Amino acid sequence: MNQPIKEVLALKDVHHWYGDLQAVDGLSLSVAAGEVVCLLGPSGCGKTTALRIAAGLERLQQGEVRLNGKVVADGTRDLPPEDRNVGLVFQDYALFPHLDVAANVAFGLSRMSASERKERVESALALVGMAGQASAYPHQLSGGQQQRVALARALAPRPPIMLLDEPFSGLDTRLRGQVRDEALHVLKEVGAATLLVTHDPEEAMFMADRIAVMNGGRLMQLGTPAELYFHPASAFVASFLGDTNRLEGEVSGGSVPTPLGELEAGGLEEGAPVEILIRPEALQLMAEQGEADEGSGFAEVQAARLLGRSSLIHLSFAKAGAQEPPLHLHARVPGRFLPQEGERLKVQLDRSQAFVFPASTAR
């Protein structure tokens, strides 16, 4: 039998306004012990507000916040942040410049005996690989090291929940990848429930067990990265999680005809206008051989760019014998496949990565 999942943080139907502006609109989600949940969405969608409400930094206006099964805020009561036992990490590290690394990490441990505090500081610094820097001052550390210290400081009191707001976005690309990899291992090792705010879908997919996609204060979809990427519930989620080619169409004869073949209409009404989102990796490219069959067509290569792990091919696609102007499509292919400009290729669509939505759900 499966162990019951231990819910550490729960937000229930949380609403929040700044004056007339509704920043959070009916958000419900929970985070279990050992789980990393990312709040993902564009700037201004309410992620930080939701995290601040969970931390107690923003007073709850409507809804409920539970920590370890206990209601900590419900509109009548609001436990202050220092009594919630949450670990907080922000983008700007917020280390005390006049304290060395050890003193920064010890900051939240004042209620402990000196020996226990020392042991906690040492183990937290060891966890983030900074044991050798205990007596350094923040200005002597790189951005990545400072963020590791900030993580150690948040972890030192061993909180059951860690709340992280864009913790890696102050770091340059290279360092960001490294620090978030380390942070993921540390968070998993300590088994804290983690809620992490990010606007970067790649980061969310890298870090998260589950992702909560928000837009305009609302939860658009909550699921594993694979659920969101391969089964997006809306055009917004599909296009926010990754690049897409966008076509317009309408339901005809129970399906959606496209220049790349018929797609399932997903129960939409006959004649309904739809938008079709196709992931660049859904376009399979082959050397041109013979006639195009149903579900394929010919494309002329306009440009091919190596992006490292994959290549991006710009295509001008025309259905054999069709009158319509050619489509501009992007195909992403693994590895070093770099066809020549002007080369003709056969294009086949992997339908599992083509999504049909009613046109009205457009961004």
Q: Which residues bind ligand ATP (CB under 6 A)?
A: 18, 21, 23, 41, 43-49, 199
Cβ-based nearer residue to ligand ATP, 19 or 308: 19
Amino acid at 134: A
Cβ-based nearer residue to ligand ATP, 44 or 157: 44
Cβ-based nearer residue to ligand ATP, 48 or 353: 48
Q: How far is the CB of 39 from ligand ATP (least distance, A)?
A: 8
Amino acid at 264: E
Q: Are the C-beta atoms of 58 and 24 separated by less than 8 Å? A: no
Q: How far is the CB of 78 from ligand ATP (least distance, A)?
A: 17
Q: How far is the CB of 44 from ligand ATP (least distance, A)?
A: 4
Cβ-based nearer residue to ligand ATP, 44 or 177: 44
Q: How far is the CB of 175 from ligand ATP (least distance, A)?
A: 20
| Cα distance between residue 351 and residue 258, in whole Å | 11
| Cα distance between residue 318 and residue 343, in whole Å | 14
| Cα distance between residue 274 and residue 80, in whole Å | 48
| Cα distance between residue 186 and residue 47, in whole Å | 23
The conformation of residue 78, written as its DSSP 8-state character, comes to: B
Q: How far is the CB of 88 from ligand ATP (least distance, A)?
A: 15
Inter-helix orientation angle 114-127/173-190, to 10°: 130
Cβ-based nearer residue to ligand ATP, 23 or 105: 23
Q: How far is the CB of 163 from ligand ATP (least distance, A)?
A: 13
Cβ-based nearer residue to ligand ATP, 89 or 105: 89
E-assigned strand segments in the chain: 7-18, 21-32, 36-40, 62-67, 70-73, 86-90, 161-165, 193-198, 210-215, 218-223, 245-250, 255-258, 261-264, 273-278, 283-287, 296-306, 310-318, 327-334, 344-349, 354-358
Cβ-based nearer residue to ligand ATP, 216 or 358: 216
| Cα distance between residue 99 and residue 93, in whole Å | 14
Provide DSSP, 143-172.
HHHHHHHHHHHHHTT--SEEEEESTTTTS-
Q: How far is the CB of 199 from ligand ATP (least distance, A)?
A: 5
